[in-house]
Structure 1
Amino acid sequence: MSTTSATAPVSYKGWAGIKRAFATPSALTMAILGFGCGLPFLLIASQTLSTRLRDVGLDLGSIGLISLASFFYLLKFLWAPLIDRYAFPLTAFLGRRRSWLLIAQLVVTVALFALAYMRPQYGVGGLVMWVLIASFAGATQDSVVDAYRIEIAPANAQAALAATYVLGYRIGLILAGAGALYIADLRDWTWAYLAMASLMLLPIVTTLLCREPVAPESTVTRRIDFVGAFWQPFSSFFSSNGLLLGLVLLLFVGLYKFPDQVIGVMAGPFYLDSGYTKSDIATVSKLYGVVMGVVGAFAGGAAVAAFGFRRMLFAAAIGVALSNAAFLLMAHYPGQIWAFYAAIAADNLFQGFAGVVLVAFMSSLTDRNFTATQYALLVSLANLPGKFVGGASGYIVEATSYSTFFLISTLTVIPTLLLLAWLWQRIKEPAAVQDR
């Protein structure tokens, strides 16, 4: 599979640009690599794993704590400088990006096979160890794919390719969510994880076939020492934005997805406690919900191309917060399938919309000389606060109630809106909007 050069004179403006992006070899590559990133996430860091643990009898507090074993997804910026600077030694012949990507995908595959044979009801030590390994490899895979996407398209194409990437990612979520739950319901969790591990062969083959992206011409003098590999990406970010604006941007990104992130761990247990079967959860949350997420993603890509970041960042933040309140329907009408559909529609539609808006915004903030590092830092910050609170979410629910928990999560959007108000005149719009 070939990729387009970052300097190719191609227009990706508006909805027509998104359709044009779908027709390129780059888009197919990004869709499959996105699939490889989405597939392991639910199995090691989110709802499928927590549903599995609840299904075998673990308490909510333990489930929340075990979810912290996937914390490498939050810290990938720490080793991203190595990904930016060096090729992985054993596979260096593939190029800087693909050498890391292939190794990460292979480790994820091995870890999923190992998790298939874990028995958490008899002890969680082995499961936690393999979740740690899988999350480290999965986080590395995400960092490389993010850098790959940014390096094969100009800034005004990022919303379009983000939507393409999200399509593949969401398909991965469907299979890791609905697919795994259906298999677990019909057979058992071992068969479910074995099937998911086998699907990683598709992105592995894609990595072997796709072309290495063209490295950008460096506009800075890179230090050749090991310390410089870590220091320069961060100093470059603050040199470009200034200290105050840089800090506010990082804080804004860190809080933007907080309402969504904070409820992620408890979603699976909440569905079971509300009286829904694993097949119900697979159909509504993992099939219908992911389809709604794809619709939201493409709406977000088109909206950013047409209207820019500022208004869409505001609309998405409000939408994500209000979608949390939709879970109150399920809390007040437990076991009612219509309430499940309504809550999942709102949640996934706005998650998909906000996800693409945030991806495009964060991509615009990165220096292409340090793509993997700076984008990994932003993505880690986007997930860090909610992830840590999510680790304690089981105790919050047990101390209060699901309804109170969802209401509190809705109100956490207020700090984000205050920061957006301060940033409003300082946010740079994409070229497609500026040119209009």
Structure 2
Amino acid sequence: MHSAEKRSWSEAFGAFIHPRVITMLFMGLSAGIPILLIFSTLSIWLREAGVDRSTVTYFSWAALGYSFKFVWAPLIDRLPFPVLHGILGRRRSWLIIAQGCIIGAILWMGLTDPAQNLTMMAFAAVALGFASATQDIVIDAYRIEAADTDLQAMMSSAYIGGYRIGMIVAGAGALTIAGLFEAEGSYQPFAWTMAYGCMALAMCIGVITTLLIREPAVNRTDSKYFHETSDYVRFLAMFAVTVIAFILANLYAGDITDPLKAILRDGGMISELAGFIAGTLKLAISIAVAILVAWLTTRVGLTPTGMVRETYIAPVKDFIDRYGKAAIIILILIGVYRIADIVMGVMANVFYTDLGFSKEEIAAVSKTFGLFMTIAGSFMGGVLSVRYGVVRILFVGALLSAITNILFAFMAHMGANTIMFAVVIMADNLSGGLATAAFIAYLSGLTNISFTAMQYAIFSSIMTLFPKILAGFSGTVVDAVGYSWFFIGTAIIGIPVLYLVVLAGRLTDVENPNKDRTPAEAEG
């Protein structure tokens, strides 16, 4: 592994109070608030409103924007927002627009009673998902551009810490507020209107932060194609047509994939695998149709070929050109680094329940205590990365993530032991926070300043894709081998990651990348 310049402990801890690091704490809070307003908090609201469970689960699709944000990330990189770009700059103008849309979507949800108009609530939730994913794109780009690599680990740590605090605000905070305005056992929409209204007010923290910070001063490659207003309109028209084609293809592809799924199940294939194959085919058909439509729009002259190439192909080509054959190793590492955590994490809550822990115990130990351990672990990862280098802590994080999974195997034999539960949660969340902080810093170091949003969006999508696919089979594996061997297996599949970290560390140098920054910006 490349050896980064070793820094003193005072320099490592001093990074805590760097203005850019403090900024990321508030940005993280702004990013952490919307996600639970789509997931768990909204789920409780919908159930209180009498919405059936199967319909409630469909609302998780409102967050699909997070998984496909790389599709419109290039627009954020290339398109200056009219008027505001000249006042606030590229990143801050998009941030303020995204945050304004988030606030509007939260208020839209808060003013909608799902018991009366569930469809309108669905539209509001989808709007919040896409606005929040857009904010994430801009924050990630801002974080990478705002400071040199030696601060990225601490920036990542502060972001994770703020994100978790935002989740507390939108989770426990929103539920507490709703509880204050409703009588026990009765559904009152006004209570949820107040809760979501307070969450919209909390988002003002992000707006104020955006207005106070400075735009990152970086030298980036300007577009060769975006000059006239008509260029932007034509490009956005191409993007809109492509998205519509993807949605329509996804709707009608079910006529092909649903019978296939039934045939595979009737042939003896397990339901999860049959569903995965059918779903993958459906996604492949939708993507193929979208690409075909995008190609046709360039052929008929709606969008210049060079504009599409610069926006979508150039960021990928740049990454391959910079890292060559090492790019394959890097992408594999990105795709599997969190595999031990994600595959195990899917079964965690089910495991706690099966052991006999009550909902109150799970909430207190896993959710509350575990949340603070994750925040502590993320800051620990930031300090250690500054002190010893990102790649070293990346290795330590991967090792600890695998080892802590074995603790779950011991826990499976001990039953509902609260002390062991707390010890395991502490170890798992500390290691998870440490590994995540180092990993985000590593991904940040891989990006080119000219394609920040697009490249990081691709990385962040790849890092959860394969682990989440594999995690879908976790329940089947547990049924077959039991919890103990399942957790041991998740530790074992994390071992090859260690070799990949060492190999990637030798082939790349993310500790001192050649990023083109101004001296003033480096000072923060």
TM-score calculated relative to the size of structure 2: 0.68
State the Cα distance separating 1:63 from its structure 2 match. Answer: 8.0
Q: Which residue of 1 aligns with 2:333?
A: 252
The answer as to whether partners of 1:324 and 1:347 remain within 8 angstroms in 2 is: yes
Partner Cα separation in structure 2 for residue 393 and residue 120 of structure 1: 33
Q: Secondary structure at the match of 2:219?
A: coil
Given candidates 17, 24, 34, the residue that maps to 2:18 is 24
Look up the match of 2:266: none
- 2:447 corresponds to: 366
| Contact 1:12/1:18, CA 8 A, preserved across alignment | no
AA aligned to 1:235 is K
The residue identity in structure 2 corresponding to 1:233 is P
Pairing partner for 1:288 from 369, 376, 396: 369
- 1:213 has 2:235 as partner: no
Larger mean CA deviation between 174-183 and 117-126 belongs to 117-126
Q: Distance in 1 between matches of 2:353 and 2:110?
A: 21
Q: Which residue is 2:156 aligned to?
A: 162
Change (3 A) 1:326 1:199: farther
Q: Is the 8 A contact 2:323 2:508 kept in 1?
A: no
Aligned to 2:38: 44
Larger radius of gyration: 2
Partner of 1:105: 99
Query: Does residue 230 in structure 1 map to residue 312 in structure 2?
Result: yes
User: Which stretch of structure 1 is more off in the superposition, 341-350 or 319-328?
Assistant: 319-328
Q: Distance in 1 between matches of 2:197 and 2:447?
A: 37
Per-residue deviation, 1:62: 8.4
Q: What's the CA shift string for 1:155-212, capped at 9, x where partnerless? A: 2221222222223223223333444565677768936655444322211222233222
Correspondence list, 1:315-354, <5 A: 315-328=396-409, 331-332=412-413, 335-354=416-435
Relative distance call for 1:24 and 1:314 in structure 2 (3 A) is closer
Tell me whether 95-104 or 194-203 shows the greater mean CA deviation: 194-203
* SS of residue paired to 1:322: helix
Q: Which residue of 1 aligns with 2:493?
A: 412
Judge conservation of contact 1:74–1:381 (CA < 8 Å) in 2: no
- Of 348-357 and 287-296, deviating more is 287-296
Partner of 2:207: 204
- How many residues in Structure 1 have an aligned counterpart in Structure 2? 418
Tell me which of 306, 310, 322 is aligned to 1:240: 322
Looking at structure 2, the residues matched to 146 and 161 of structure 1 have their Cα atoms a distance apart, in angstroms, of: 10
Q: Distance in 2 between matches of 1:296 and 1:338?
A: 20
The percent identity for this pair of structures is: 39
Deviates further, 124-133 or 258-267: 124-133
Q: How far apart are 1:35 and its partner, in Å?
A: 1.0
> Which residue of the partner structure matches residue 311 of structure 1?
392
Name which of 80, 95, 106 aligns with 1:87: 80
Cα 1:411–1:223, aligned 2, differ >3 Å: closer, same or farther? farther
d(CA) in 2 for partners of 1:231, 1:132: 28
Taking a change above 3 Å as real, the CA distance of residues 16 and 198 of structure 1, as seen in their structure-2 partners, is same
Q: Secondary structure at the match of 1:315?
A: helix
- In 2 relative to 1, CA 114–195 (structure 1 residues): closer, same or farther, beyond 3 Å? same
- The superposition leaves residues 268-324 of structure 1 with CA deviations (integer Å, 9 ceiling, x where unpaired) of 555556555555444323332222112211221222223223332222112122333
Q: C-alpha distance in 1, partners of 2:202/2:219?
A: 36
Equivalent position amino acid for 2:151 in 1: A
Query: 1:394 and 1:181, CA in 2 relative to 1: closer, same or farther beyond 3 A?
Result: farther
Instruction: Tell me, in whole angstroms, the C-alpha distance in 2 between the residues paired with 1:352 and 1:136.
Output: 26
What's the TM-score, normalizing by structure 1? 0.80
Unaligned runs of 5+ in 1: 1-10
Gaps of 5+ in 2: 227-305, 514-524
8 A contact 1:64–1:394 mirrored in 2: no
Question: Which one of the candidate residues 365, 374, 378 is aligned to 2:459?
Answer: 378
Over 3 Å counting, the alpha-carbon distance change for 1:424 and 1:149 in structure 2 is closer
For residues 209 and 414 of structure 1, the distance between their equivalents in structure 2, rounded to whole angstroms, comes to 44
Please report how far the alpha carbon of residue 423 of structure 1 lies from its aligned counterpart in structure 2 after TM superposition: 2.6
Q: Is the 8 A contact 1:254 1:382 kept in 2?
A: yes
Cα–Cα, structure 1 residues 417 and 19, in superposed 2: closer, same or farther, change >3 Å? closer
**Matches of 1:405 and 1:184 in 2, distance apart?**
39
State the alpha-carbon separation in 1 of the partners of residues 62 and 477 from structure 2.
19
In structure 2, relative to structure 1, the CA distance for the partners of 1:302 and 1:58 (3 Å cut) is farther
**Matched residue SS, 1:262:** helix
Indicate whether 1:71 and 2:91 are aligned. no
Q: State the distance in 2 between where 1:192 and 1:395 align.
A: 38
Equivalent position of 1:5 in the other structure: none
Q: Deviations over 1:377-428 (max 9, x none)?
A: 1111112223344456567667776656544433331442343354342132
- Deviates further, 131-140 or 219-228: 219-228
Change (3 A) 1:20 1:207: same
After TM superposition, give the deviation of residue 97 of structure 1 in Å.
0.7
How far 1:254 moved relative to its partner? Answer: 1.4
> Does the alignment pair 1:136 with 2:139?
no
Mapped contact 2:68–2:461 kept (Cα < 8 A) = yes
Which whole-Å deviations, capped at 9, do the CAs of 1:330-388 have from their partners, x for residues lacking one? 65556543243223212210111001110111111111111111111111111222334
Root mean square deviation of aligned Cα: 3.9
